[in-house]
């Protein structure tokens, strides 16, 4: 049986791009250009208490927790997930996440199709030498700039829920 290896590819970037955004160090493991736009894979190291603001989009998103624990807000439901747990976000579902630990937590984020979240993170994030340099000091986020970029990439930021 003949194996067609030209239809597949494998790559590990020597120096993958890492950006910092809202207490998340996002390392791009597979970019849209590597997958014909089908998906993107980002390794996300999140500072204690940090995460993403509530938002929704019309593409699919999935999370695989690698280390630590995250609170995932899925509509009106909150799920606390640890290493090995998987969360799938259907298009149009309001969601957010937050590291619920006192130490950094890590997960993989998969976006389908690739490119939209990737473009957003590249526009609003601060490029870092690597995730190993640690979290930079956080200033106040530029909410109008972030909201404008989100809208350009099909992401709708939502107001935080009242406690």
CA atoms of 74 and 54, how far apart (whole Å): 9
Residue indicated by tokens 């494998």 = 10
Residue 108: pLDDT above 80?
A: yes
User: Is cis: bond before 113, omega within 30 of 0?
Assistant: yes
Residue 38 to residue 27: CA distance in whole angstroms: 18
For the domain 36-128, what is the CATH code?
A: 2.60.120.10
pLDDT in the model for residue 129? 84
Q: Is 84 exposed, middle or buried (0-12, 13-18, 19+ CB in 10 A)?
A: exposed
List, for residues 28-72, the tens digit of each pLDDT value.
999 999 999 999 999 999 999 999 999 999 999 999 999 999 999
| pLDDT grade for 5, boundaries at 50, 70 and 90 | very low
Q: 82 pLDDT exceeds 80?
A: yes
pLDDT at 4: 40
Q: Over 50: is that where the pLDDT of 1 sits? A: no
Q: What is the pLDDT of residue 138?
A: 83
d(CA 150, CA 145): 9
Instruction: Let me know the angle formed at the C-alpha of 148 by 99 and 116, rounded to the nearest 5 degrees.
Output: 65
What is the spatial distance between Cα 88 and Cα 13, in angstroms, rounded to a whole number? 26
Give the model's confidence band at 6: pLDDT under 50 very low, under 70 low, under 90 confident, else very high.
very low
Each domain of the chain, given as residue ranges in start order, spans: 36-128
| Dihedral, CA of residue 106, residue 34, residue 126 and residue 156, to nearest 10 | -80
146 pLDDT band, cuts 50/70/90, is very high
Please say whether the dihedral angle defined by the alpha carbons of residues 24, 92, 64 and 72, taken in this order, is positive or negative.
positive
Per-residue pLDDT tens digits for 127-144:
998 878 888 888 899 999
DSSP state of 102: S
Lowest mean pLDDT among 5-9, 72-76, 77-81, 101-105: 5-9
């Amino acid at each position: 049986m003949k194996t067609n290896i030209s239809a597949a590819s494998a790559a590990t970037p020597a120096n993958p791009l890492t950006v910092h955004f809202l207490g998340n160090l996002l390392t791009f493991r597979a970019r849209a250009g590597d997958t014909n736009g089908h998906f993107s894979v980002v390794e996300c190291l999140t500072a204690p208490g940090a995460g993403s603001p509530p938002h929704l989009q019309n593409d699919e998103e999935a999370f695989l927790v690698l280390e630590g624990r995250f609170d995932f807000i899925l509509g009106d439901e909150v799920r606390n997930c640890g290493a090995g747990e998987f969360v799938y976000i259907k298009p149009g579902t309001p969601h957010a996440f937050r590291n619920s630990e006192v130490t950094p937590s890590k997960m993989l984020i998969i976006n389908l199709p690739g490119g939209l979240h990737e473009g957003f993170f590249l526009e609003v994030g601060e490029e870092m030498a690597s995730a190993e340099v640690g979290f930079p000091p956080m200033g106040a986020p530029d909410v109008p700039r972030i909201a404008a970029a989100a809208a350009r990439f099909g992401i709708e930021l939502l107001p935080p829920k009242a406690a």
